[in-house]
Amino acid sequence: MRLIETRQFGSCMILTLAIGTILIATTQFLRKMPQKHHGCTATWTGLALSPGGLVTVVMIFMTGKLTSRIQPNI
């Protein structure tokens, strides 16, 4: 508990918890909204949301290339 009380670790933990909650909530709500409110099937919902997944995959590779060239200073 003393580790959580430190300002840096505690604030990082709260921020990580908030971002994780937002990411999980949006992935759950975004897939249910077209199905419930617009009457789409699961297949059409997946096809509608797949461009976001493709962008994520592309950004993963771009981030890997950039981190080999740019070293972050902490």
Q: What is the pLDDT of residues 40-66, one digit of tens each?
A: 899 998 898 899 889 989 999 998 888
Q: pLDDT band at 74, cuts 50/70/90?
A: low
The predicted pLDDT at position 43 comes to: 92
The predicted pLDDT at position 67 comes to: 84
**Mean pLDDT across the stretch 32-44?**
89
Q: pLDDT band at 5, cuts 50/70/90?
A: confident
- Phi and psi torsions of 72, nearest 5°: -75, 140
N-terminal to C-terminal alpha carbon distance within the chain: 25
